[in-house]
Each structure stands twice: as C-alpha cells, then as structure tokens.
Amino acid sequence: MAGITAAQVKELRERTGAGMMDCKNVLTETDGDMERSIEVLREKGLAKAAKKAGRIASEGLVRIKFSPDYKTAAIVEVNSETDFVAKNEEFIGFVEKLSAIAAETAWSNLDEFLAAPYDAVTVQEKLNSLIATIGENLNVRRAQKSAQPGVIHVGYLHGAGKIGVIIGLETTASYDEIAVTGKDIAMQAASMNPRFIDESQVDPEYMESEKKILIQQALNEGKSADIVEKMVSGRLKKELKETCLLEQKFVKNADVTISQYIAEAAKAIGKPIKVAVMIRYEVGEGIEKKEENFAEEVARQMGN
C-alpha cells in the first residue's frame, strides 16, 4: 500500500490524543484503517492514557536511589491524581524502579529519561500502560542525578515518600563515617525547606527582589527613609538565615547552626566535610490542585 500520510497521522492524533509515533505505527499496522487504528490504540491503552492527560496529578511519590558506593544518587517524582493510587503497590514499585533506572542509566534531561529502557519497553511506554491499568493520569514530573568527584551522598525520605532529600558531602571520609551527619542534614532540609546551601548560591536577582519588597514594607510601616536601609539590611540577614541551609538553626539542637554542627562532626572524625549538593523534592509542590464539585464530577463521568 502507499505510505502513511502526515494528514492521517494528524487526524488520528486529534481523535485519540495519542503520540505521533504511536499513531504512525498503528496506522502502518492496520494498513491505514482509521477506525481500526483507534481501536488498537484503545486496546493498547494509549488513547485512554491521552484522554486522562488533562486531569491534574498533584499527589504521588518521591523516591531516591544510590549506587553501592554512594558516589551517585538519583531522585524522581511521579505524580498521581489521588493519594489512594500513590499507596498502590504497583505504583510504588514503578516509582522505585524508576529511581534505580535514574541512578544506573545515562541521561541528561527528562525526555531522555522517559526514553530509557524499562524491561522490554521504555519508561514512557510503561507509564502509558500503567495509566491504562490504574485508570488515573500519572506523570513522571521530574528526575535528577548527582555524581561529582569526591562527593558522598546521603538521603532521607519523609512521610513514606512525600518529601525526598539528597545531600552530597564533599569529603575524604567514608560513607559510614558521615552517614549520621548526612542524614541529619537531609532531615534538616526536609523539615526546614532551605532554598540555598549558603549565601554564595543566592541568586542576585532574588536578593534584589526581596530587598525591594522589604523596603516597601518598611515604608508602608511609616518608617523614615533614613533608617529604612539599616532595617532592610537586618531583615535580609534574618531571611538568609531562614533560607540558607548552613545558616539555619539545627532542628535537633537549636544552640548551633548547621554550619557549626558540620564543623563539629568534621572535627570528631578528623576529616573535612562540606555540603556540595542539596536536592529537595516535595510531592506536588508548585502544582495548582483542582477543586471540583463531586456531584458535577459524577455527572460528567456518567455523560461520557
């Protein structure tokens, strides 16, 4: 038969929402039979997955994975529509396997990660299959890997995977020597949600934006212009102590900062310890959750 045309692929995509290559492959498989192609896509779960793609997935899980020597660490977040699905054993197994794939394979962006092998298929194909099986929109939202010379990684999962933290420590010490210190720092990051490791990481634009806000706040409070600068300087310093990990008070001992705690730990083992990596994922952060009327949702589903 003649080759599949771009117009046929476009029509099938519009009617099913499936991916371009999936549409092209199925059209080839069915010799261009449009109706049969739609059936095949539905049978494979690809059209069904696309239909659910508009639903907001703001629940889910974070998982972290380390190489045996802890020199490589990976973290992934996979979202679901409901917390119920996030507790599904098949979903949990999928996320855990993804974290291992993230740590063990070579990839540089999310598209490459989604194209990575997952058993006999790709991560994206496995995701589509799982959407069809579970019946909810699922989304591999983000993934990150860290591997730096001289850095040992430690991690912490909070709330069964609602928050995940990876801390990379630049040190000559072994994992066993810094495991407790690293976990304490990771727990600190999970609990206090610092934005930066230290002041050197703070974006100048962020600082300038915060300064403008604080100046306006001070002026709105009726402070005179001549003392506003001094007030703002003090407030910025206070904010940095809250947003920079090393400046925060240690949650386990408020008498010391994280920086002081690390210095004490380094002195105890006689080896240097420096925080080089901090990655913190919290499930659904930044995703606008959709509030719906339950009766309207039921009525809409009955009408489908």
- What digits encode the pLDDT tens for the residues 219-277? 778 777 778 877 887 888 887 778 899 999 999 999 999 999 999 999 999 999 999 99
Superfamily of domain covering 6-52: Ubiquitin-associated (UBA) domain (1.10.8.10)
Answer whether 57's CB lies under 8 Å from 95's CB.
Answer: no
Q: Is the pLDDT of residue 298 over 50?
A: no
- 80 or 241, which is more confident: 80
| pLDDT score for 304 | 44
Q: Is the pLDDT of residue 294 over 60?
A: no
In the chain, what are the domain boundaries? 6-52, 56-147
Q: How big is the chain, counted in residues? A: 304
In this structure, the number of other CB atoms found within 10 A of the CB of residue 215 comes to: 17
Q: With a cut of 80, say whether residue 289 has pLDDT above it.
A: no
Higher pLDDT, 91 or 54: 91
Model pTM greater than 0.85?
no
pLDDT at residue 53, as a whole number: 61
Q: How confident is the model at residue 302 (pLDDT cuts 50, 70, 90)?
A: very low
- Domain 56-147 in CATH 3.40.1160.10? The answer is no
For the stretch 142-201, pLDDT in tens is: 999 999 999 999 999 998 999 999 999 999 999 999 999 999 999 999 999 999 999 888
Q: What is the greatest pairwise CA distance in the chain?
A: 82
Q: Rounded to an integer, what distance in angstroms lies between the CA atom of residue 197 and that of residue 201? A: 7
Write the pLDDT tens digit of every residue in 278-287: 999 999 888 7
Identify the pLDDT of residue 292: 47
User: What's the pLDDT at 52?
Assistant: 64
